Amino acid sequence: MHLMRKLVWSKLKSTLRKQRRDGKDGSGSLVNKSNVNEEYVEALRTKSYVEIYNKVQGQLELGQDHKLSSSSSSVQLNANLSKSLLEPCQEVLAEIPKSCQLHPLIVNYFDITSEACRICELLLQSVRKTRVNYRKIRKVIRLMKNMEPDSSHCYGIYRELASFASYKNPFSVVNRVQFLDTREGHDVLLQKLTSQFRRVKRRMKFLRSCKKVFGISIAIGYTGILIALLVLVLHSMVCIIAAPGLVFCSFKLLKKRFKVDKKAISSSSLEILIAQLDVAAKGVYILINDFDTMSRLVRRLYDETEHNISVADMCARKKNDDMLKEVIRDFSINKHCFMEQLKELEEHVCLCFLTINRSRRMVLQEMVSK
């Protein structure tokens, strides 16, 4: 088992180092550009986005083919999405050797991003379910075009509207309170990461100053020894008496040098930790912005879906032909806009997956760089 873990970790390190070299051209940077719209369009054209979007569609189509409508099937679909989209997955992180000594905040970062992916999965489920439910509206619009709206011919339309009104709003699975709680957790983690980053950086600066002081003191010490040796050459008579003292001084200087080397090792570890905290903080910051955007989109779609359900229910209960005409007219006008909103949310969720994975890989790359 131990050998297997070493092999998995070794393979992971080689893969991440290759990605690190490939990403030095700046294409994998998490830095925001000045024009957000251009960045958004550019992100949708990247190969990595296309790959993750295709994975999402493949999993959702697989779920549709198997008619995953029960709760147990939904759990299965979520598990498949998590396994195929989250990189590196939690199982891989569990194989990280204990020698890496992950900082608690980095562990918390991986847990929070994993939970964020779970919420993204729920949103993708909601988008898929909403599209399936909206087929009823499409069917109603199509039926309305092919028949006269009188009581004898509209029974099928009222039945479809009643069926649509019986559906639960798919976006109720992720409510505003849950988004606010998630946002609060992200804010707290970002503050902790930023605070720890500054604290470690101050410590790093202090160690560098100490290293310089020790270096100067060692240089002065060696200079003193050289001068003393020159004096001893000129005064060989006192060589035997002074030799023990010089040996003792040399030993002290070597001991100081050893301490400096140990501090240098500690300094190297701090540099790696600083890089990890920096990447994690940037990743959480972007995650906060992504969730703010998705929260607004979800709220808008939730309200729109609730409106459609209530209108369909009222129309199905009253069975008024004039009201039916007006309702179908509104559905026809708003159909394209509603579907575009669904597509926009789906794109943002996929982009969120992409940025989460990129950030997690970058943190892991900093871990294997030592």
- Cα of 201 vs its chain's centroid, Å: 24
Residue partners of 293: CB distance under 8 A and separation at least 6: 348
User: How does residue 84 score in pLDDT terms, banded at 50, 70 and 90?
Assistant: confident
Kindly report the average pLDDT of the chain as a whole number. 75
- Dist CA 1 CA 4 (whole Å): 5
- Dist CA 301 CA 344 (whole Å): 11
Domain positions in the chain: 86-204+282-369
pTM over 0.85: no
Ramachandran region of residue 31, left (φ > 0), alpha (ψ -120 to 50) or beta? Answer: beta
3-state secondary structure of 87: coil
Kindly provide the b/e burial profile for residues 95-113, where b requires at least 16 CB atoms within 10 angstroms of the residue's own CB. ebeeeeebbebbebbbebb
User: How does residue 366 score in pLDDT terms, banded at 50, 70 and 90?
Assistant: confident
Query: Could you tell me which residue, 87 or 150, shows the higher pLDDT?
Result: 87
Q: DSSP for 340-358? A: HHHHHHHHHHHHHHHHHHH
Residue 188, pLDDT score: 93
Kindly provide the b/e burial profile for residues 27-60, where b requires at least 16 CB atoms within 10 angstroms of the residue's own CB. eeeeeeeeeeeeeeeeeeeeeebeebbeebeebb
Place of tokens 């957790």: 185
User: What mean pLDDT comes out for the span 259-275?
Assistant: 64
The answer to whether residues 88 and 12 touch, using CB atoms and an 8 Å cutoff, is yes
- Cα of 108 vs its chain's centroid, Å: 12
| In the predicted structure, residue 336 carries a pLDDT above the cut 90 | yes
| In the predicted structure, residue 33 carries a pLDDT above the cut 80 | no
